[in-house]
Chain A
Amino acid sequence: MGDSLQIKKQPKQYDAVIVGSGAGGGMAAYVLANAGLKVCLLEAGANFDPAINSSQLKNPWDSPRRGASTKFRPFGDFDGCYHGWQIEGEPYTHAEGTKWDWWRARMVGGRTNHWGRISLRFGPNDFKHKSIDGLGDDWPISYDDVKPYYDKIDKLIGVFGTNEGLVNDPDGFFLPPPKPRLHELFIKDAATSIGIPVIPSRLSILTKPINKERGACFFCAQCGRSCKVYGDFSSSSVLIKPAIATGNVDLVTNAMAREVLTNASGLATGVSYVSKEDMQEYQVQGKVVILAASACESARLMLNSKSTQHPNGIGNSSNVVGKYLHDSTGAAMGGYLPKLFGRKRYNEDGVGGMHVYTPWWGDNKKLDFARGYHIEYWGGMEQPAYGFGMGVEGQNGKIPINGKTKEAGGYGASLKEDHRYLYGASVGMAGRGEALALASNYCEIDPSVVDKFGIPVLRFNTKYSEQEVNQAKHMKESFREIMHKMGAVITWGDDGADKQYGLESPGKIIHEAGTVRMGDDKKTSALNKWSQAHDCKNLFNVDGGQFVSQGDKNITWTILALSMRASEYIVDQLKKQNI
């Protein structure tokens, strides 16, 4: 049939081999390439350039399923992310009685192609929670260590927002935010009147141009499809494209990393991978190996990289790799604003996300949960997609249409009148909060299951604690108050204790982190404060794995800052020949 399987060793010796091209990997490639280092960037998925591959500005009828989700694109037929919850031939398992949903993007730029662009710095408290409430652990670094990198990221990538002088939602270098939409003005008035702050959101979308390579946003609200003019942050467009332009990056797509290779001294020497294109085995050598395959994939790689020097997996003498797995909490509520029925039509798209949001405002000392959450908002006259108009029988009987009380359901010209009257009045909100990082929440290598490449898969074991449930309860109480104050009618999400207040199961929010955590003590952490493996000085992890805790923010901006910081350290250490 052909030659029997061999391992093909790439002859080139790189300064760094990077696994993963998302936020962390993209930033590492960018910094190293611009410093003149030779980089091999391995990406498990296909090539993707928003300028070419985005479905931006397609009409609903350009898809026979009108934008409905598919197994290839779970977020919708036009969404800018290949794959998600299930990948054929790449299973993962759970401990019985537990649930973890694992999102895996497979593309250049990873999930940064379709994400919400919510770009929030951690605040000073987020690095020192144990010192504040005794739970979890402090980071080995402080906000002061990371601030210079947040500052650089703000300017390099561009983020809009305002300086509000909030202690734990720090000021930055912001482009001007877009004006609030109509429902956002109502939300702002209602929420602030009951003590819940509403400030301009902070999204990595260019409301003003910042360089010649990227266009400014033109308000089509389709950041989720990725942007053809690079008006928002995707690692593919903003980091990898310029990195490749230096001539110092060899990007290998459809390359599934198998393990980190080591030598007799236990140092990393490179990465072995299987090419999805020809199903052949390859090895690539580098002076430094940087793992950025997403928190759980990086942990999986480390656990699967066993050797005499690293019997427990490379970098895992502490036994923490895979542990302390956490995700953002999430719970949502929605309904409609009667005052918006029959509303005047105009282009309400704006940017691909909320123009306002609520940063955490509570005092956890007075509450029955230790960590906070922020609130995201949506609603208004959105682009019709599959699902539009469904369930109208639940509304058109309860709501008088143009003053007429109708029987629920119906058909005909009367039904068309109903759809027109009800359109654009929906409103919704969701909390995104900090879950505790617990050693009892983890992923490990499944002892008996391999994927189609023969790579042992992950088995997940996670469960939310009372902390997270109480936090979700508070979210629902807050949302109910805001909805009532606005005069909105709640139609979904008003869940009680029996449904854990609608708390999403772990993994569903897709902010997973913690599995390769950093710390000063190598008995309880895998990385030091430079994102460098304690056990292997030329191995680094720069994705969500390195996080000690979540923060009441999402983690992308911090991934970028930490990756830039670690990458500059790598450049420095290579120069000094320390690694």
Chain B
Amino acid sequence: MDRRKSIKALLIGTAAGSVIMDSCNPADKKETAIVKDAATPDQADRTREEITHNKKLNEETFFTKEEMATIVILADIIIPKDEVSGSATDAKVPDFIEFIVKDMPDHQTPMRGGLRWLQIESLKRFEKSFNEISEKQRIEIVDDIAYPNKVKPGMKQGVAFFTLMRNLTSTGFYTSEIGVKDIGYKGNVPNQWNGVPDDVLKQYNVAYTEKELKECVSFDKA
């Protein structure tokens, strides 16, 4: 099959990919349509055990409304909207964090405890919860826990929590559609690999050898 035909076959395959075979029970040849869940769209191939597992997770709720409100505030402090791309909440990062702590229970206590630590810190400083203080007051606290190499006494646990929040927010953002566009990943699409672009070769002063140019697969430039 030449490349053009193979890409065509692939597109047909992905159109049909919205229906999965019940691969755990080959005797049952009925095709099962994927039930699209608006909150957590998951259109990849899934075995019956995985579907059951994901469904169970989706039916649970971990964070309280108040905790979620704090997560939303923190996520947008960590990844705000800028001239290149939207914010963490634009990219639905809080929903990702809710799912991931259910999927990875080891995150639960550090997140829950860290959020509470933050609330206590806010009450100590301003006699109001983190969700109620002003933007300026929030940044005051965040500035004390955002820098692992500059930690005042008593702030170490807050630093550990903020590091976790930064990790989860960064990962949730840069694996979202908005984030993947922001970071500039250009792959995940059928293409012809013709090597490093000429201008990049020039930029780094490297070149393909004659041997490589002769023996490597190359494609005529369109």
Q: What is A's interface to B at a CB cutoff of 8 Å?
A: 46-49, 51-68, 70, 72-73, 77-78, 82, 160, 162, 175-182, 185-186, 189, 200, 207-209, 212-216, 218-222, 228-229, 231, 253-254, 277, 339, 343-351, 381-393, 397, 407-413, 415-416, 419-420, 423
Contacts and interface: CB of A to CB of B under 8 A. Distances in A.
Nearest to B1: A215
Given A52-B16, A349-B188, 4 more contacts: A60-B176, A62-B41, A189-B206, A408-B149
Nearest to B95: A64
B126 interface: no
A52 B12 CA distance: 11
Nearest to A410: B146
B27 interface: yes
Contacts of A52: 13, 16-17, 20-21, 45
Given A62-B41, A349-B191, A413 B80 contact: yes
B218 A179 contact: yes
A277 B23 CA distance: 12
B222 interface: no
Interface string B133-163: 0000000001000111110000000010011
Classify chain B's interface size. Answer: 35 or more
Given A179-B195, A216-B3, A409-B148, A420 B10 contact: no
23 contacts: A53-B20, A60-B175, A64-B99, A65-B100, A66-B96, A66-B172, A66-B175, A67-B175, A70-B50, A208-B217, A215-B10, A216-B6, A219-B192, A254-B24, A349-B193, A384-B174, A384-B175, A386-B171, A391-B167, A407-B150, A409-B162, A411-B79, A416-B82
Contacts of B2: 209, 216
A215 B188 contact: no
B213 to A, nearest CB: 8
Contact of A419 (B99, B174, B176, B196): B174
Interface string B14-40: 101100110111110000000000001
A55 B206 CA distance: 35
Given A177-B217, A416-B84, A388 B175 contact: yes
A49 to B, nearest CB: 8
The 4 closest A-B pairs by CB, nearest first: A215-B6, A389-B170, A179-B195, A345-B184
A200 B215 contact: yes
A220 B179 contact: no
A56 B43 CA distance: 11
Contacts of A213: 1
Contact of A393 (B3, B10, B148, B203): B148
A346 B197 contact: yes
A186 B103 contact: no
Contacts of B171: 66, 386-390
Contacts of B100: 64-65, 68, 386
A420 B1 contact: no
A207 B195 CA distance: 13
Contacts of A348: 186-187
Contacts of A46: 23-24, 26, 47
A57 B13 CA distance: 11
B128 interface: no
A273 to B, nearest CB: 15
B40 A64 contact: yes
Nearest to B211: A162
Contact of A339 (B27, B189, B204): B204
Tell me which of A54, A73, A213, A218 has the highest count of chain B C-beta atoms within 10 A of its own C-beta.
A218
A212 B1 contact: yes
Nearest to B197: A346
Contact of A219 (B47, B50, B170, B193): B193
A61 B191 CA distance: 21
Best-surrounded residue of A214, A392, A410 (most CB of chain B within 10 A): A410
B108 interface: no
Nearest to B43: A62
Contacts of A381: 184-187
A47 B21 contact: yes
B204 A68 contact: no
B193 A185 contact: no
A419 B176 CA distance: 14
Given A53-B23, A416-B79, A59 B193 contact: no
Contacts of B47: 46, 72, 82
Nearest to A77: B44
B5 A57 contact: no
B198 to A, nearest CB: 11
B80 A219 contact: no
A179 B208 contact: yes
A305 to B, nearest CB: 27
Contact of B146 (A57, A175, A185, A411): A411
A162 B211 CA distance: 10
A28 B153 CA distance: 67
B170 A220 contact: no
Contacts of B188: 57, 59, 220, 222, 349, 383
B199 A344 contact: yes
Interface string B204-221: 101010001001111000
Contacts of A409: 146-149, 159, 162-163, 166
Nearest to A177: B216
B196 A397 contact: no
A385 to B, nearest CB: 6
A388 B49 contact: no
A78 B208 CA distance: 34
A157 to B, nearest CB: 15
B68 interface: no
A258 B21 CA distance: 28
B186 A63 contact: no
B123 interface: no
Nearest to A420: B183
Nearest to B16: A52
B9 interface: yes
B177 A54 contact: no
B53 interface: yes
Contact of A53 (B45, B206, B208): B45
Contacts of A254: 24-26
B3 A415 contact: no
B180 interface: yes
A213 B103 CA distance: 39
Contact of A385 (B80, B84, B175, B182): B175
B26 to A, nearest CB: 4
A182 B191 contact: no
